[in-house]
Amino acid sequence: MLIVRAVEVARSILATRSIFIPTSTKFNYPPVISAFQRSPGSISSSKHKNNCKWIQTRPTQVFFSISNLYGSGSEEGIKASAMSSVQTPSRGRKRKDKNAEESGATGQRNSINHEKPQKQKKSVKSRHQNDSGPKHDAWFHFFTKDDPLYTQYMVSEWGHEKRDDNELFEMLSLEGAQSGLSWKTILYKREAYRKAFCGFDINAVATMTENDVEKLMEMKPASKTNSNDVVVRHRGKLNSVINNAKIIQQMKRDGSIDSFGEYLWSFVDDRPILSQWMDVNDAPNKSDESDMMSKTLKKQGFNFVGPTTCYAFMQSCGMVIDHPMGSKWWKEAENRLKKRAGGYQIR
* Structural domain includes residue 127: no
Q: Are residues 30 and 83 in the same domain?
A: yes
Q: Is 60 in the same domain as 192? A: no
What is the end-to-end Cα distance of the chain in Å, rounded? Answer: 51
196 shares its domain with 262: yes
In a domain, 216, yes or no: yes
Q: How far apart are CA 34 and CA 261, in angstroms?
A: 50
- Residue 337 and residue 192 in one domain: yes
Residue type, 232: V
In the prediction, which pLDDT does 303 show?
A: 97
Q: Could you list the residue range(s) of the whole structural domain that residue 84 is in?
A: 2-115
The pLDDT value recorded for residue 301 is 97
Q: Which residues have CB under 8 Å from 195's CB, separation 6+?
A: none
| Residues 239/193/172/277 CA torsion (nearest 10 deg) | 140
Do 98 and 150 belong to one domain?
Answer: no
Catalytic pick from 29, 139, 150, 153? 153
Residue 117 phi/psi, 5-degree rounding, is -65, 145
pLDDT at 202: 98
Q: Which of 150, 158, 175, 289 is catalytic?
A: 175
Mean pLDDT, consecutive 10-residue segments, the chain of 347 residues? 51 49 40 34 39 40 35 38 38 41 35 40 41 59 92 95 98 96 97 98 98 97 93 97 98 96 98 94 94 98 97 97 94 96 94
Residue-wise pLDDT for 121-177, tens only, equals: 444 443 344 444 444 468 899 889 999 999 999 999 999 999 999 999 999 999 999
pLDDT of residue 300: 97
Is position 105 within any domain?
yes
Q: What is the pLDDT of residues 67-105, one digit of tens each?
A: 333 333 333 333 333 333 333 343 444 444 434 333 333
Q: Would you say residue 72 lies in a domain?
A: yes
Active-site residue, selected from the candidate residues 150, 158, 183, 193: 183
| Whether residue 183 sits in one domain with residue 145 | yes
Examine the residue annotation and report whether 175 is marked as an active-site residue of this protein.
yes
Closest CA to 9 of 57, 38, 42, 34: 42
Active site residue 139: no
- Asked if residue 6 belongs to a domain, the reply is yes
Q: Which helix (H) or strand (E) holds 81?
A: strand 78-82
Write the CATH number for 203. Answer: 1.10.340.30
With contact defined as beta carbons under 8 Å apart, do 322 and 275 qualify? yes
Question: Per the domain annotation, does 167 fall within a domain?
Answer: yes
Choose the final residue of a domain: 80, 115, 150.
115
The verdict on 104 and 197 lying in the same domain is no
pTM, rounded to two decimals: 0.63
pLDDT at 8: 58
Nearest-Å Rg of the Cα atoms of the chain is 25
Would you say residue 98 lies in a domain?
yes
Nearest to 23 by CA among 45, 48, 3: 48
Structurally, the chain folds into a number of domains equal to 2
On whether both 309 and 257 belong to a single domain, the answer is: yes
Q: Are residues 146 and 287 in the same domain?
A: yes
Residues 6 or more apart whose Cβ sits within 8 Å of residue 52: 20, 21, 22, 23, 44
Indicate if 272 and 309 belong to the same structural domain. yes
Say if residue 170 is in the same domain as residue 284.
yes
Answer whether residue 125 is part of any domain.
Answer: no
**238 lies in the same domain as 111:** no
Residue 251 C-beta-side C-alpha neighbours within 13 Å:
23
For this structure, is 183 an active site residue?
Answer: yes
pLDDT number for residue 200: 98
